[in-house]
Amino acid sequence: MKEVTAKANANIALIKYWGKRDDSLFLPTKSSISFTLPHLTTTTTIAISDAPQDTIKINEKLVQDEKITRFLNLFRKKYCVSDTFVINSKNSFPTAAGLASSSSGFAALAKGLCKLYDLAMAGRTPEAPTKELSILARRGSGSACRSVYDGFVIWHRGVTPPTGGTTQKTHSYAEQLFPPEHWPEFHIVIALADESSKKVSSRIGMQKTIETSPHYEKWVKRSESRIPHMIDAIKHKDIDAVGTLAERDCLEMHHCIQTSTPSINYLRPKTRQITDVVKKLRLEQKIPCYFTIDAGPNVKIITLKEHAQTVVEELKEICSVLTF
Ligand code: DP6
């Protein structure tokens, strides 16, 4: 039986994606920028099954995951495939704790499926990260479209043509802005505030935010306007500019989330303790370090390699820390 293995890494958003303008097509309300984390990897093996239904294991546990099933059905329909699959997916980091496991998970799944069927996306090899692969991964989880690339990545919001129709599905995709070698000193430290799964999924959280937060529309505009500034800051390897923009964007996103009705809060008291340490290091010791937080309590600290150890030593006192 043919079996393929594919890998993809999680990414963290420097300018966030939070909200869809089309829920079923996973079209975002705005563009976003991320950095792919070289060591937070999902490894997925896929084989064609003899059984009438898919078998899905995540970290050795059998799961029934509505999002994965929906994605597999979409793949079967799009590529006229009638097979079912045995899927084994393993994360090298805590699942669903704001470490963006769905980004690497769906990117690895999309890559693996393309490999299994030798789908030469737009004439290229299935292994090559392509626009088409990114579009496919997007339909599993929005942030996954960025995880098909290394380094610094932009996910274009895309424009919905006035006529609507099928072309709008293909206008929103990710592409690499800069490879990791562009800025090898750029470094992320991860502070784990809580490794348990999140209570409100991103999908539901964003729907509620769009529907009820009075601050959401303003954030979308402000956040979109940060995109060219973030590209410029990465281009010039300006850690203070990257960090300031990322921190602001994250704080405003969480403000929108918290002002939803009913209020949603992904942060924990430990999250606050961690961000206080980061601010103190920056203000008192002049260490260039900034934080960003996704839909979970853990904190990613944006810094430079030469300062990573100082950040780790300070944070180790209050929580577990991952650094690469
Ligand atoms: C806060 O990509 O997990 O991490 O598209 O509904 O699957 P779905 O959501 P998901 O949301 C990620 C949101 C975020 C910010 C980001 O990664 O840009």
Distance CA 36, CA 293 (A): 15
Distance of alpha carbon 44 from alpha carbon 63, whole angstroms: 14
Q: Is residue 157 within 8 Å of 30, Cβ to Cβ?
A: yes
Sequence-distant (6+) residues with CB within 8 A of 303 are 187, 188, 189, 239, 243, 287, 288, 289, 290, 311
pLDDT at 125 over 50: no
State which ligand 1 atom lies nearest to the alpha carbon of 295.
Answer: 1
- Residue whose CA is closest, atom 11 of ligand 1? 202
Q: What angle do CA 244, 248, 250 make, to 5 degrees?
A: 120
15 CA to centre of ligand 1 in angstroms = 11
Contact 321, 315 (CB under 8 A): yes
Instruction: Give the tokens for residue 280.
Output: 């103190």
Ligand 1 near 223 CB (within 6 A) = no
Cβ(17) – ligand 1 distance below 6 Å: yes
Tokens matching residue 153: 């990545």
* More confident position, 197 or 233: 233
The amino acid present at 169, given as its one-letter code, is K
| Pocket of ligand 1 contains residue 271 by CB under 6 Å | no
At residue 207, the pLDDT reads 97
Q: Whose CA is nearest to atom 12 of ligand 1?
A: 143
Q: Tell me what the mean pLDDT of segment 151-172 comes to.
A: 77
Residue 198's pLDDT band (cuts 50, 70, 90) = low
Q: Reduced to 3 states, what is the DSSP secondary structure of residue 105?
A: helix
pLDDT in tens, 77-102: 988 899 999 999 999 876 544 565 78
The residue to mutate among 202, 227, 294, having the most atoms of ligand 1 within 8 angstroms of its beta carbon, is 202
Digit-coded pLDDT (tens) for 250-298: 999 999 999 999 999 999 999 999 999 999 999 999 999 999 999 999 9
pLDDT band per the 50, 70, 90 thresholds, residue 45: very high
Tell me, what's the pLDDT at 39? 87
d(CA 29, CA 21): 5
E runs forming strands in the chain: 3-15, 20-22, 27-28, 32-48, 55-58, 61-63, 85-91, 152-155, 174-178, 186-192, 290-292, 299-304, 320-323
Predicted confidence at residue 128, as pLDDT, reads: 46
pLDDT at 166: 54
How many Cα atoms within 13 Å fall on the side-chain side of residue 71?
28
Q: Does residue 198's CB lie within 6 angstroms of at least one atom of ligand 1?
A: no
Residue percentage of the chain with pLDDT more than 70: 90
State the pLDDT confidence band at 131, using cuts at 50, 70 and 90: confident
pLDDT category, 169, cuts 50, 70, 90? low
CA 286 to chain centre: 29
Local confidence band at 124 (pLDDT 50, 70, 90 cut-offs): very low
Tell me the average pLDDT of the chain.
Answer: 91
* From 128-142, 162-176, 210-224, 279-293, the region with the lowest mean pLDDT: 162-176
Closest-CA residue to 7 (of 122, 67, 92)? 92
Q: What is the pTM of this model?
A: 0.93
**Helices 269-285 and 305-316, packing angle to 10 deg:** 130
- Partnered with residue 55 across adjacent β-strands are 86
DSSP bridge pairs for 300:
190, 292
Amino acid 2: pLDDT: 80
In the reported structure, the alpha carbon of residue 239 is separated from the centroid of ligand 1 by a whole-number distance in angstroms of: 24
Bridge partners, residue 187, by sequence = 303
Q: Which whole number is the average pLDDT over 235-254?
A: 98
Q: With beta carbons less than 8 A apart as the criterion, state whether 19 and 28 touch.
A: yes
Note the pLDDT of residue 259.
Answer: 98
Interval between CA 49 and ligand 1 midpoint (Å): 30
With a cut of 50, say whether residue 319 has pLDDT above it.
yes
pLDDT of residue 297: 92
Report the share of the chain in percent with pLDDT over 90: 81
Q: Is 98 in the pocket of ligand 1 (CB under 6 A)?
A: no
